[in-house]
């Protein structure tokens, strides 16, 4: 009888320990993925079955915002839970943009999500685009990650090279196989750390220009090269999902999937105005999917207002890791929204353009405090726009296939951009009709909230990228 009691007791302890196991965290961040690029967000042509599956098994958000329409500021907010102006990362580091842009990095006083989770006993791994500083002292393995493989900035910045930790592992880089190789490394990290809590930050390269795809999808996927790049992206998400199931840790893993800003040429902003780089909704609003079997009900769509900094707070709440209490955090735990019917924790969300705040919105209204920036690109002699950053003679960027200016991802119609425009996003999500004169009380209310926040924004000169000079 005693052996049986001991066996039952041991089993109970095992079950209890398994139930109390900290959840694994996987954050997948696409690069320049537009609000309307995915099948589950309504794209009629691009095929993304594995991402659509993830949405069907979790929750899809329709009012998820980035704090900036560019790469690095959003990534800094994800890693710190703070608006770009607070964490000192309001512009993109660029190794080929002159000495000032080359030197930009996330300040050392900022605490990253990886540092917090590593301190809580998590294995931490990153694959892909970092873009928070590319010099030694600022790289992922020096900011909380146990390991890193990827291009440390955008895949169109020279030199395009893959780092392993802090050292160059591949140069030149053939980008046609990049997504596939990134996925292989992400799966390898999961396999090696399946028996302990881990944090995987998988920052994809696509569909940022220059576009590239594997032979599996090249000239075979619907939607041309952009569609092929998305098909590779979708496959990589599927590889992660499969690895979690194969290791028996699917039910104990929170997956968060999003994008760093709106779409570039060739993509879709899903009927929103503008695109990446602009302060229209097409620049800020992005897909966000959360999946955690047993914790997040399947098949839900959430329409509450949320922002990228929330992922920091959500992960810390889910893991029980200590939340930094020596600084202002702008994000909030989204689990009450993702798992239930809670309302947004945000009364307002602010939008950056470089070092300045230029927009404020709530659940319904959006006020522009400065004229919306437009993407000013000059087409070539044949009317098509070509990326001026062609290969430098050593670096292999990607096949020379670029989208022209006719492939604008968002609406280009509507009232001309100007300071003081007010839009009713419920009635007019495409920001076509200015209603400031009809709702002066809303302008006044939003202006007052903007002024209160703007008092905390330091005056910083915008860094102008120097023209590239061939070595």
Burial (Cβ within 10 Å: 0-12, 13-18, ≥19) of residue 229: buried
Return d(Cα 267, Cα 247) in angstroms, integer: 34
- How far is the CA of 246 from the CAs of 38, 250, 251, 318, in angstroms? 26, 8, 11, 23
- Which parts of 268-402 fold into alpha helices (H)? 281-284, 310-319, 335-339
Tell me if 117 sits within 8 A of 319, measured CB to CB.
yes
Q: Does 71 qualify as catalytic in the annotation?
A: yes
Catalytic residue among 131, 134, 208, 346: 131
Q: Count of residues for the chain?
A: 471
Nearest to 106 by CA among 63, 151, 76, 69: 76
- How far is the CA of 226 from the CAs of 211, 258, 425, in angstroms? 7, 18, 28
Q: Does 131 qualify as catalytic in the annotation?
A: yes
Catalytic residue among 43, 71, 217, 346: 71
- How far is the CA of 361 from the CAs of 67, 134, 346, in angstroms? 11, 33, 10
Respond yes or no on whether the N-terminal peptide bond of residue 40 is cis (omega within 30° of 0): no
Nearest to 226 by CA among 265, 260, 259: 265
Per-residue tokens: 246? 């194969």
Report the catalytic residues.
Answer: 71, 131
């Amino acid at each position: 009888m005693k052996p049986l009691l001991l066996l039952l007791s041991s089993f109970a302890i095992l079950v209890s320990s398994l139930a109390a196991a900290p959840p694994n965290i996987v954050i997948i961040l696409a690069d320049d993925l537009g609000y309307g690029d995915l099948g589950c967000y309504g794209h009629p042509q691009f095929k993304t079955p594995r991402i659509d599956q993830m949405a069907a098994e979790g929750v899809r958000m329709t009012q998820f915002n980035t704090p900036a329409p560019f790469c690095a500021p959003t990534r800094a907010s994800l890693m710190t839970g703070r608006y770009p102006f607070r964490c000192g990362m309001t512009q993109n580091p660029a190794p080929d943009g002159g000495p000032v842009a080359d030197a930009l990095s996330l300040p050392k006083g900022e605490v990253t999500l990886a540092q917090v989770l590593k301190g809580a006993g998590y294995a931490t791994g990153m694959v892909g685009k970092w873009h928070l500083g590319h010099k030694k002292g600022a790289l992922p393995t020096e900011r909380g990650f146990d390991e890193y493989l990827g291009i440390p900035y955008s895949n169109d910045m020279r030199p395009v090279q893959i780092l392993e930790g802090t050292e160059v592992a591949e140069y030149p880089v053939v980008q046609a196989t990049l997504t596939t190789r990134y996925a292989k490394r992400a799966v390898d990290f999961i396999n090696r750390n399946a028996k302990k809590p881990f944090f995987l930050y998988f920052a994809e390269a696509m569909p940022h220009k220059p576009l590239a795809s594997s032979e599996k999808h090249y000239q075979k996927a619907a939607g041309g090269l952009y569609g092929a790049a998305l098909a590779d992206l979708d496959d990589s998400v599927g590889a992660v999902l499969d690895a979690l199931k194969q290791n028996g840790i699917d039910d104990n893993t929170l997956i968060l999937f999003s994008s760093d800003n709106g779409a570039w040429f060739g993509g879709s902003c899903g009927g929103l105005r503008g695109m990446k780089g602009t302060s229209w909704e097409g620049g800020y609003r992005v897909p966000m999917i959360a999946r955690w079997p047993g914790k997040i009900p399947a098949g839900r769509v959430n329409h509450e207002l949320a922002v990228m900094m929330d992922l920091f707070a959500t992960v810390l709440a889910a893991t029980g890791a200590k939340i930094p209490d020596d600084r202002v955090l702008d994000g909030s735990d989204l689990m009450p929204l993702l798992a239930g019917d809670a309302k947004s924790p945000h009364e307002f969300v602010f939008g950056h353009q470089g070092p300045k705040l230029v927009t404020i919105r709530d659940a319904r209204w959006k006020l522009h405090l400065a004229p919306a920036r437009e993407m000013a690109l000059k087409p070539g002699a044949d009317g098509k726009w070509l990326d001026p950053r062609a290969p430098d003679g050593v670096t292999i960027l990607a096949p020379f296939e670029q989208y022209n200016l006719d492939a604008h991802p968002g609406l280009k119609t509507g009232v001309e951009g100007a300071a003081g425009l007010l839009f009713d996003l419920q009635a007019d999500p495409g920001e076509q009709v200015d209603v400031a004169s009809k709702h002066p009380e809303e302008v006044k209310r939003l202006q007052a909230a903007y002024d209160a926040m703007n008092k905390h924004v330091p005056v910083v000169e915008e860094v102008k990228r120097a023209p590239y000079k061939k070595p």
